Amino acid sequence: MEHDVKPATWVAHAGGAKDQSSGGVVPAIQPATTFYRDSDYGLHNPDNIYLRPHSENLRQAEAVIQKLEGAAETLLFPSGMAAIAAAFRWLPNGARVVLQDGIYWGTTKWIQAFCQRRGITLLTVDASDTEALAAICQDGVDLVFVETPSNPWLKIADIAKAAEAAHTNGGILVVDATAATPILSKPLALGADIVMHSATKALNGHSDVLGGVLSCREQGEIWEAIRTDRADSGAMLGPFEAWLLMRGMRTLALRVERMSENAQALATYFADHPAVEDVLYPGLPTHPAHALAKSQMTGGFGGLMSVLVKGDMQNALAVAGRLNLFVRATSLGGVESLVEHRYSVESHTGLPQNLLRLSVGIEDVQDLIDDFAQALGQ
């Protein structure tokens, strides 16, 4: 398929992947773990020896994401965390890492333990403060990691400036753009070296596949190390998951558009609601980094938002308990809307007790607003 089509066209056609042998308009699942040789002992298909490094379904799904990101190469992993671990494991002992604070707790937790074990200096900073980020990199840095928009604070890091801070001080920039999706944001074009997504979230979009992905702006020594480590340590996504992910991604552009529209409307509704103390959403003009978000995201601001309801924790839990449509569950990016009382699972990181994190899905927006209207009691 032609490479110059728009993202919505590219994903709808799954990058042109079809089943060559049957003529099927969707690719087949190839679960074989090993691939045969001909009588002269030559490989029947020179691309395939053994499943761990060689999966047709993986390559097809990677090709779809690679084009969306404008990447030199894309690698899928069995989860978002496996992708993040892969983005760090190449670091030598004694390296220096700058990490954005207040991001997805699972990421922070793993990076803290990894850096401690490996004697890596770990510095944390509010990456939405561009000057603070530049200052903390000044003594040299090997890897800068930011998450934008951040989860659950919805802070926005300036990707171009973060890349500059990393590069002028000897490091690379890795961006977790899970909440933005490759439809709304192109971190590699802004100077990031590696962009990461939890494919579990909006990329797959149906809350039924665990996966993660890294894409690079340029191949080089670090990327080679990541690719080799993935194959040698076996951190590969399985063919069934890769196939399901491909199916999910066909509607990615449509889903992201609808999620963003719904989230924008809900955020606007909350902004004027007497029972709401604050709403954190980069699409609102009142968000402190709205202009920046607008400049580095196109087509919307995604489906992730946080709402601080007036009152205490019991009240926030009661609101969540009264919701009929928003499913009380963690995660984000699925077609169905979710609500999570984040403090209940992460009470030690200074989150407000009245914060409800929402993942806005693709439902009819009036149903979503009505659900909150009755839950908030106004």
- Residues 72 and 217: beta-carbon distance below 8 Å: yes
Decide: is 334 part of the binding site for ligand PLP (CB under 6 A).
Answer: no
Stretch that binds ligand PLP, among 7-15, 76-84, 234-242, 256-264 (CB under 6 A): 76-84
The verdict on whether 269 is a catalytic residue reads no
Cβ proximity to ligand PLP: between 10 and 145 the closer is 145
Decide: is 60 part of the binding site for ligand PLP (CB under 6 A).
Answer: no
Decide: is 198 part of the binding site for ligand PLP (CB under 6 A).
Answer: yes
- Residues 194 and 182: beta-carbon distance below 8 Å: no
Residue with tokens 């009152």: 311
Contacts (Cβ under 8 Å, ≥6 apart) of 134 = 161, 164, 165
Q: CB 322 → ligand PLP: shortest distance, Å?
A: 26
The verdict on whether 176 is a catalytic residue reads yes
Residue 323 tokens read as 């919701």
CA dihedral in degrees (111, 136, 290, 347; nearest 10)?
Answer: 40
- What H or E segment, with its residue span, contains residue 338? strand 338-341
48, 60, 100, 107: which one contacts ligand PLP (CB under 6 A)?
A: 107
* Distance (Å, whole) CA 272 – CA 86: 43
Decide: is 148 part of the binding site for ligand PLP (CB under 6 A).
Answer: no
- Residues 263 and 180: beta-carbon distance below 8 Å: no
Decide: is 210 part of the binding site for ligand PLP (CB under 6 A).
Answer: yes
Residue type, 27: P
Cβ proximity to ligand PLP: between 202 and 375 the closer is 202
Decide: is 154 part of the binding site for ligand PLP (CB under 6 A).
Answer: no
The verdict on whether 104 is a catalytic residue reads yes
Binding mask 165-194 for ligand PLP (x = CB under 6 A): -----------x-xx---------------
Cβ proximity to ligand PLP: between 10 and 104 the closer is 104
The DSSP bridge partners found for residue 43 are 37
Residue 322 tokens read as 């009264």
Decide: is 270 part of the binding site for ligand PLP (CB under 6 A).
Answer: no
* Distance (Å, whole) CA 185 – CA 180: 6
- Residues 196 and 180: beta-carbon distance below 8 Å: no
15, 27, 80, 152: which one contacts ligand PLP (CB under 6 A)?
A: 80
Q: Which of 217, 237, 192 is nearest to 75 (CA)?
A: 237
7, 16, 106, 311: which one contacts ligand PLP (CB under 6 A)?
A: 106
- Catalytically active residues are 52, 104, 176, 201
**Which residues of the chain form contacts with ligand PLP (CB under 6 A)?**
79-81, 104, 106-107, 147, 151, 176, 178-179, 198, 200-201, 210, 212, 332
